[in-house]
Chains A and B, each alone.
Chain A
Amino acid sequence: DAKTTQPTSMDCAEGRAANLPCNHSTISGNEYVYWYRQIHSQGPQYIIHGLKNNETNEMASLIITEDRKSSTLILPHATLRDTAVYYCIVMGWGSARQLTFGSGTQLTVLP
């Protein structure tokens, strides 16, 4: 599975959009981009995933560049409860397999 690079930490004002970048320049054609987050003292939580089209659900939007070498997770109206470590994971389609978590981005939403 392709390696990902994320900033170590980011701050965002409450109510504003949080834009979390991820670089995955070695991604291959059958690999998806997944985002999970981990709130302090909880297990990770799935947010969204995509292949090449932009995706949106009730939690977030995922924007994938046309060359698929990078993506951005957007939380449109961040709240204090969105403070968490956000992990960008690239994984190929196939048999179920483990998630490979990197260091993630610590997002702190400020009041």
Chain B
Amino acid sequence: GAGVSQSPRYKVAKRGQDVALRCDPISGHVSLFWYQQALGQGPEFLTYFQNEAQLDKSGLPSDRFFAERPEGSVSTLKIQRTQQEDSAVYLCASSPGRNSLHEQYFGPGTRLTVT
């Protein structure tokens, strides 16, 4: 069956541009997570949605980062006025349930390069 998909797979932005990264979770999955992965590091948490509600955004590094999931399915991570330090792979994961025992299914990620 279809897994988690993300688009675009690669994005090059000039410093100061706004970008929008899309995540299509597995159909019916309640929980959705965004992670940021710098080169050579493990993924780091950005934000978490349960259906359309953003329950945790403690990992967002600045107010330039904004995420939404308006209908409880597709999610968009938006970065305004991109900076070079925003260059990373952005991973989306979905999970079928509301508790921590459910495994997270990851998409392939979007590699953002800010020049």
Contact = CB atoms under 8 A, between A and B. Distances in A.
- Report the contact-size class of chain B (Cβ under 8 Å from the partner): 20 to 34
A21 interface: no
B98 interface: yes
A111 B99 CA distance: 40
Given A46-B103, A94-B100, A101 B43 contact: yes
Given A43-B91, A43-B107, A46-B105, A98 B99 contact: no
A32 B102 CA distance: 12
Q: Is the interface of A mostly helix, strand, loop or mixed?
A: loop
A96 B105 contact: no
Nearest to A89: B42
Give the interface centre of A92, A97, A99 by most chain B CB atoms within 10 Å: A99
A49 B41 CA distance: 22
A97 B100 contact: yes
A85 B40 CA distance: 10
Interface string B30-50: 110101000001111100101
Contact of A101 (B31, B42, B95, B105): B42
A102 interface: yes
A58 to B, nearest CB: 14
Contact of A96 (B35, B43, B99): B99
Given A42-B108, A43-B93, A91 B45 contact: no
Contacts of A85: 42
Nearest to A85: B42
Contact of A98 (B41, B48, B105, B109): B48
Interface string B9-48: 0000000000000000000001101010000011111001
A82 to B, nearest CB: 17
Given A43-B109, A87-B42, A96 B103 contact: no
Contact of A43 (B30, B31, B103, B106): B106
Contact of B98 (A93, A95, A103): A95
Contacts of B93: 43-44, 99
Interface of A: 32, 34, 41-46, 49, 85, 87, 91-104
By Cβ-Cβ distance, the 3 closest A-B pairs, closest first, are A43-B106, A101-B42, A98-B45
